[in-house]
Amino acid sequence: MENEQPHKRRVRYKGTHPRKFEEKYKELNPEKYADTVAKVISKGSTPAGMHISICVKEILDFLQIQPGQKGLDATLGYGGHSRKMMECLKGQGHLYALDVDPIEIVKTTKRLEEAGYGPDIFTSIQENFANIDRIGAEYGPFDFCMADLGVSSMQIDNPERGFSYKLDGPLDLRLNPEKGVSAAQRLREVTRDELEGMLIENSDEPYADKIAAEVTKTFRKGQKIETTTDLRQVIERALAFLPENKEKKDILKKTCQRTFQALRIDVNSEFEVLETFLEKLPDIMAPGGRIAILTFHSGEDRLVKKAFNAYYKEGIFQDIAREVIRPSAEECRANGRARSTKMRWAVKA
């Protein structure tokens, strides 16, 4: 009688071209592929699905966090700053952290819990920082607070979120895709003049008139602008008049970046929520409470500077940063995303 061997199924070959974003990048599982992640970081890039925190030392030096204190991270993201701030608490005190993003907040909370930062020391809340008055009333006042504005690398790198002109995906751009309207819908709704104004106000876009005209023309022809690629192609057509030379590629890239940024600011009402946050900020802080804010473009920095100056003049803040603090040249070399960062700080009276 033949020796009966248990039947072994052949492992199916997955192919060399994973179709899904999650399958494509080993870095998406940083705990499992630590070597790959280290290699990507050493080349000055951010591994997919991860975010490298900016100005960590500058923020910690300023916040002077002591064990037993209570703090607020208004923009949790990947949780890099939160983690460093909790290390300073040395197991005593509490950190509350907000994020509007219902997708990433779950992953970050799980990652932090697995790293030992559970509910005894850390509470994450899916909330817009425009509502810090509610958070302050329930959990405040806070001894320290930080905000690191804008988007995280995980959001940019996920094509499903539509934040990047480099990756094909739905033209969404919402930090919370469960609320409000997508960028594609906004483009359908705005008039040509409104779109031109949006591009100028939110991103100082020099080709705003050309882009607004091309968007209008595209819709008039019955064509759709539903994906990031559709919008990139509209921008390419709008700039078709530029001579074909070496500079054109760079101009196209920068115009795409500014256009996507302007739309992102619009669909997330970023200036309005930042203004509301700044209005409510002093009331949630304890006397002597320390605040650090990182901004990424001039519109944001102007609002922070104006609010801090006004509170200083009124005696609500006892001290503020006179100059912006920039990440070191070394940090900018290691992390290209740090290049536009400006930090401001304040101390509550």
Ligand X SMILES: C[S@@+](CC[C@H](N)C(=O)[O-])C[C@H]1O[C@@H](n2cnc3c(N)ncnc32)[C@H](O)[C@@H]1O
291 forms beta bridges with 145, 346
Q: Is 289 annotated as a binding residue?
A: no
- Return the structure tokens found at 62: 């300023």
The residue (of 150 and 327) whose beta carbon lies closer to ligand X is 150
Count of positions on this chain that bind ligand X (CB under 6 A) = 22
Tokens of 240: 């078709």
Q: Is 151 in the site for ligand X (CB under 6 A)?
A: yes
Residue 162 is labelled as binding a ligand: no
Check binding of 140 to ligand X (CB under 6 A). no
Q: Is 148 annotated as a binding residue?
A: yes
In the complex, what is the shortest distance from the CB of residue 184 to ligand X, in angstroms, rounded to a whole number?
20
Which x/- pattern over 47-86 shows residues binding ligand X (rule: CB under 6 A)? ----x-x---------------------x-xxxxx-----
Strand partners, 125: 98
Which residue in 206, 218, 213 sits closest to 262, CA to CA?
206
Q: Are 152 and 73 in contact (CB under 8 A)?
A: no
Q: Minimum CB separation from ligand X for residue 97, in Å?
A: 9
The reply on whether position 99 binds ligand X by CB under 6 A is: yes
Residues 6+ apart with CB under 8 A from 77: 51, 53, 99, 104, 108, 148, 152, 154
Tell me: does residue 136 bind ligand X (CB under 6 A): no
Residue 81 annotated as binding? yes
Interface positions, 155-184, toward ligand X (CB under 6 A): 175
Considering just the CA atoms, what is the radius of gyration of the chain in Å?
A: 23
Instruction: Quote the CA–CA distance of 14 and 76 in Å, as a whole number.
Output: 35
Distance CA 146, CA 290 (A): 8
In DSSP terms, 203 is beta-bridged to none
Q: Is the CB of 98 or the CB of 321 nearer to ligand X?
A: 98
State how far the Cα of 201 lies from the Cα of 284, in Å rounded to an integer. Answer: 30
Binding-site string for ligand X from residue 243 to residue 282, where x marks contact by CB under 6 A and - marks none: ------------------------------x---------
By beta-carbon proximity to ligand X, the closer residue of 228 and 268 is: 268
Which residues contribute to the site for ligand X (CB under 6 A)? 51, 53, 75, 77-81, 98-101, 104, 128-130, 148, 150-152, 175, 273
